[in-house]
Structure 1
Amino acid sequence: MSAILTVTFNPALDMTGALGILQAGDVNLVQKYNLHPAGKGVNVARVLADLGAQVTVSGFLGEENQDPFAHLFVEHGICDRFLRVPGVSRTNVKLVEKDGRVTDLNFPGMAVEGRDIEALTHTLLELADGHDWIVLAGSLPPGVNADQLSDWVQALTEAGKQVVVDTSQHALRAAVSAKPWLVKPNEAELAQCLNAPISNELDTLLARGEQLFQQGIANVVISRGVDGVLWRNHQGWLQAVAPAQEVVSTVGAGDSLVAGLVWGCQAGEEKATVLRRAVALSALAVTQVSVGVSDLDRVYQMIEKISVSPVTMSAHAE
């Protein structure tokens, strides 16, 4: 199997706290919490490593608080090619209420300078020689604009790599213009990307997803939370739905989905098989606070419960 590279431009130490009900404007008592290295690409890499993939990570990492990240990569056998830059990687706060609702406090991250961008560009092109699958994930730090992300997508795609993008807002729109191999927006991110309101009606989602596919995106994956996942490629649309889970936290669910998609696609599996595993990983992710796969047997059991079926747009859909 091919080695996989994940790139996290704006990593973070995620402080996740559990509490009963969040009371805005008041003192809230957090019942338990943990602090762990994260960022979308880091999370994807961790799940991939748990599945047995050979994974390399890169991006920008603050020199002053890099140790937790370095320890994580060693612990999971992940090749560390992050660029260390002056400063501190951000800390994000995620407050998980007992009903599963998550409130994110995401900070902007440390500023990145032009020389750092040039260095990462060099590193990515160097790493592309040994990695056919490249995941570009998460937000962009100050100093990196959306056009730069588009340039990276284009350069890596022209190098013959399968580029997967999981980001949002202007960054997603810019990345789409460079035609990556796969994008994975959720419903809100899809609406932002196309600058068009989107209801959660199936026909509307399929029509909007079709717009991206017709723009040259070979794989359009739309995550819908409890309503499942939609995937469009040259074989048409597939829909997958998992049974309802007791939600502990939704943190890392989308990253687990991306990891499952890349793991299955790089192994050359059939589309339905890939989608079942990816959705199973995502469904199990919401049952835990931490990110990763602790029990592969649970994944196999969940795979058997995932419903996968073709889906088509109605003739009157926009």
Structure 2
Amino acid sequence: MILTVTPNPSLDRTYEIPTLERGAVLRATADRIDPGGKGVNVSRAVAAAGHRTLAVLPLGGPAGAALGDLLAAEGIEVAGVPVAGQTRSNISAVEPDGTLTKINAAGPELSADESRALLETVRTRSAGADWIACCGSLPRGLAPSWYAELVAQVHQAGARIALDTSGPSLTAALAARPDVVKPNAEELAQAVGRPLRTVGDAVEAARDLRKLGAGAVLASLGADGQLLVDADGERFASARVATVRSNVGAGDASLAGFLAAGGVGVRALASAVAYGAAAVQLPGSAMPAPMDLDPSAVLVGDTVPVGLELREPAG
């Protein structure tokens, strides 16, 4: 069972448009509404793979009620923490070439009591969890140290924790020694304070995060592939992708694939890449099901291509 924690979830509305033209009236060719938030997406991908998952998240107002209903419809067990504020709604516009424009709302401000209730819900519902995945930005009202507190709490209970966040929240949590952190290239560059131009740069940055406390680093390097740096060394994998339709939630799908495959080693890395490659070929923030995966498209290299220049340099 994989328990997910999403402190700032959302309803995600995605519109597919011919082109994004500022100041114009745009007509969508397709649209959809999905449960949103990084941890929510991890739960959705885990549930689609047939595994049990429990989503812990604050829910407020009509949007929060709709979010809970959408998750339940996907077979996800929900442990909602009632909050006074309104759950946020985000908007994404996707063009035919895969270019994505997002508008993310700030979300509600959580009170001290609501913050404690969220931590307590994780504590009481985490028995039997194989992994706890804590994902996304922190809402207003939660200090950057909130994730660090949660990591320490999870470890005291003897569970493993994967963390997907960025900025001060990631930096503060590293000292609590999360078992896995999953930055993308930009988040990795921000964490170490220097640009990443090659896969080798990413390897060095991931090593730095391990020195600061991360047990393993699973880094998404966009179209170039994914990098896993842990106590056993460095491994790199990539996948062929025919058409990119939307990259919303692709990193979350990757983390779900990694954890569903055990969260350790080259098998988990290959699963992460397969899930991420499948996700970018789906509309909106749809999460891949097993039928969407193509493990034969995944290439796990014998060596890490440290000299490979990133198609999208970071930092």
TM-score by length of 1: 0.91
Pairwise mapping of residues 35-114 of structure 1 onto structure 2 (< 5 A)?
35-114=33-112
- Amino acid of the residue matched to residue 115 of structure 2? I
What's the CA shift for 1:151? 0.9
**2:259 counterpart of 1:262:** yes
Matching residue of 1:282: 276
What's the CA shift for 1:232? 0.8
SS in 2 for 1:94: strand
Matching residue of 1:157: 155
CA pair 222-314 structure 1, distance change in 2 beyond 3 A: closer
- Shifted more, 302-311 versus 25-34: the winner is 25-34
Matching residue of 1:306: 298
SS in 1 for 2:256: helix
**Rounded Cα–Cα distance in structure 2 between residues aligned with 1:122 and 1:71:** 23
What's the CA shift for 1:135? 0.4
- Amino acid of the residue matched to residue 146 of structure 1? P
Q: How many residues align structurally?
A: 306
What's the CA shift for 1:310? 4.0
Matching residue of 1:234: 231
- Amino acid of the residue matched to residue 155 of structure 2? T
Pairwise mapping of residues 27-38 of structure 1 onto structure 2 (< 5 A)?
27-38=25-36
- Amino acid of the residue matched to residue 277 of structure 1? S
**Rounded Cα–Cα distance in structure 2 between residues aligned with 1:26 and 1:303:** 42
Q: CA deviation digits over 1:66-112, x for unaligned, max 9?
A: 33222223223222112021232111111111110111111110111
**Rounded Cα–Cα distance in structure 2 between residues aligned with 1:309 and 1:271:** 13
Matching residue of 2:113: 115
- Shifted more, 60-69 versus 3-12: the winner is 60-69
CA pair 274-5 structure 1, distance change in 2 beyond 3 A: same
Matching residue of 2:197: 200
CA pair 242-313 structure 1, distance change in 2 beyond 3 A: closer
8 A contact 1:62–1:88 mirrored in 2: yes
CA pair 231-87 structure 1, distance change in 2 beyond 3 A: same
What's the CA shift for 1:28? 2.9
- Shifted more, 180-189 versus 162-171: the winner is 162-171
**Rounded Cα–Cα distance in structure 1 between residues aligned with 2:179 and 2:204:** 19
Q: CA deviation digits over 1:250-301, x for unaligned, max 9?
A: 01110100000110116xxx7222222221111011111142234x2341xx
SS in 2 for 1:146: coil
8 A contact 2:237–2:273 mirrored in 1: yes
Unpaired segments ≥5 residues, structure 2: 308-315
SS in 1 for 2:170: helix
RMSD: 1.8
8 A contact 1:207–1:313 mirrored in 2: no
**Rounded Cα–Cα distance in structure 1 between residues aligned with 2:305 and 2:17:** 42
8 A contact 2:146–2:169 mirrored in 1: no
**Rounded Cα–Cα distance in structure 1 between residues aligned with 2:281 and 2:21:** 24
- Amino acid of the residue matched to residue 271 of structure 1? G
Matching residue of 1:293: 288
Pairwise mapping of residues 111-190 of structure 1 onto structure 2 (< 5 A)?
111-190=109-188
8 A contact 2:165–2:183 mirrored in 1: yes
**Rounded Cα–Cα distance in structure 2 between residues aligned with 1:59 and 1:281:** 23
Percent identity, please: 32
- Amino acid of the residue matched to residue 140 of structure 1? L
**Rounded Cα–Cα distance in structure 2 between residues aligned with 1:78 and 1:287:** 23
- Amino acid of the residue matched to residue 104 of structure 1? K
**Rounded Cα–Cα distance in structure 2 between residues aligned with 1:21 and 1:73:** 31
8 A contact 1:206–1:313 mirrored in 2: no
**Rounded Cα–Cα distance in structure 1 between residues aligned with 2:306 and 2:268:** 26
SS in 1 for 2:196: coil
TM-score by length of 2: 0.92
What's the CA shift for 1:244? 3.0
8 A contact 1:245–1:286 mirrored in 2: no
**Rounded Cα–Cα distance in structure 1 between residues aligned with 2:70 and 2:95:** 27
**Rounded Cα–Cα distance in structure 2 between residues aligned with 1:297 and 1:171:** 35
What's the CA shift for 1:313? 8.4
Matching residue of 1:191: 189
